[in-house]
């Protein structure tokens, strides 16, 4: 049976010098990660997953491939943090990726993926603030991707408490967070184009791609927004005084049960034992020594 740790180690040994760009994707829901993985599936060349601990998903991506011009395509490494409720797994990811997370932030991009189809909008800002707090030692930039944005119309048409004002308020709040986190904001509906997904992964979204009119196709490139532009949607919105409590008081619950999110998350019913990187590497080293003898 193949071992993901062995595969990751062998991958590192085979290409010790190559500085492959890295994308790390986190989300409050595993279903959301699955949906996002479907969107990037056209670019997946090799996929690995540690099924025992279910901590990380890993795959190789090849983008911008044009055989007509003889280009082999841009290669990226994408990690999905599957057990993001266990923040103690992040140091292991940091150790796996070496110093690239801290010393080469230009080739490591972090995406927080939210889902309009999940009844979690009221907790979005709190979750994003938690991500920023936990990830500050690892990155200076956080990008936000909201998938299934066509679900906005379902909320407005089927949930009496939801109005256009709430959709606008969420957009303004997310734009405020992204402006402060030096990241981009992108809404993806049920059928995003492959070309746009490629631009997103390659960090090639330009100011010319900005979209602020269609509520299900919002695109705000990195460092292109401002507090004044955010207020043009609704002048009563004050980005400076935005807080998670104010946000939660305004955004209504959806049609499903509410989600209670706390900074110190509850321990799962069946907690996963997270081994240290040193323990895992020591076990692999010992097993390989026995194999040689």
> What ranges make up the beta strands (E) of the chain?
22-26, 44-49, 56-63, 74-81, 108-115, 143-147, 185-187, 219-220
Q: Are strands 22-26 and 108-115 parallel, antiparallel or unpaired?
A: parallel
CA dist 98 and 92 (Å) reads 10
Identify the DSSP state of 253.
Answer: P
pLDDT digit string (tens) for the chain, length 293 residues: 455 555 555 554 444 445 678 888 999 888 898 899 889 888 887 665 444 344 567 777 777 665 444 445 788 888 887 655 556 666 666 666 654 444 544 578 899 999 999 999 999 999 999 999 888 777 888 999 999 999 999 999 999 999 999 999 999 999 999 999 999 999 999 989 999 999 999 889 999 999 999 999 999 999 999 999 999 999 999 999 999 999 999 999 865 433 444 444 433 434 445 455 555 455 545 544 544 55
What per-residue confidence (pLDDT) applies to 75? 83
Angle between helices 194-201 and 30-40 (to 10 degrees): 110
Q: pTM for this one?
A: 0.77
CA angle (109, 207, 120) in 5-degree steps: 55
| Neighbouring C-alpha atoms within 13 Å toward the C-beta of 84 | 26
| Terminal alpha carbon distance of the chain | 20
User: Could you state, in order of their start, the residue ranges of all structural domains in the chain?
Assistant: 4-253
- Cα→Cα distances 107→12, 75, 101, Å: 16, 12, 8
What per-residue confidence (pLDDT) applies to 261? 45
Identify the DSSP state of 66.
Answer: B
Residue 262: count of CB within 10 angstroms of its CB: 8
Give CATH for domain 4-253.
3.40.50.300
């Amino acid at each position: 049976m193949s071992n993901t740790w062995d595969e990751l180690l062998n991958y590192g040994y085979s290409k010790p010098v190559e500085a492959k760009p890295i994308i790390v994707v986190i989300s409050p829901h595993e279903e959301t990660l699955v949906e996002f993985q479907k969107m990037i599936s056209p670019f997946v060349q090799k996929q690995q997953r540690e099924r025992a601990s279910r901590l990380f998903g890993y795959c190789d991506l090849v983008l911008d491939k044009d055989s007509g011009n003889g280009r082999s395509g841009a290669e990226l490494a994408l990690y999905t943090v599957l057990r993001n409720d266990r923040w103690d797994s992040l140091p292991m990811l940091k150790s796996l990726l070496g110093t690239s997370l801290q010393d080469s932030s230009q080739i490591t991009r972090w995406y927080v993926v939210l889902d309009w189809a999940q009844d979690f909008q009221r907790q979005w800002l709190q979750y994003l603030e938690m991500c920023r707090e936990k990830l500050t030692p690892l990155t200076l930039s956080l990008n936000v991707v909201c998938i299934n944005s066509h679900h906005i119309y379902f909320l407005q048409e089927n949930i009496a408490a939801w109005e256009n004002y709430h959709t606008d308020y969420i957009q303004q709040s997310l734009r405020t967070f992204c402006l402060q986190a030096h990241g981009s904001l992108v809404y993806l509906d049920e059928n995003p184009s492959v070309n746009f997904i490629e631009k997103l992964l390659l960090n090639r979204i330009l100011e010319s791609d900005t979209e602020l009119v269609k509520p299900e196709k919002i695109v705000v490139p990195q460092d292109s927004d401002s507090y004044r532009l955010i207020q043009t949607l609704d002048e009563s919105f004050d980005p400076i005084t935005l807080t998670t409590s104010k946000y939660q008081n305004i955004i209504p619950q959806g049609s499903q049960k509410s989600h209670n999110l706390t900074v110190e998350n509850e321990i799962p019913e069946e907690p996963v034992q997270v081994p240290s990187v040193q323990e895992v590497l020591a076990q692999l080293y010992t097993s390989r020594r026995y194999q040689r003898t």
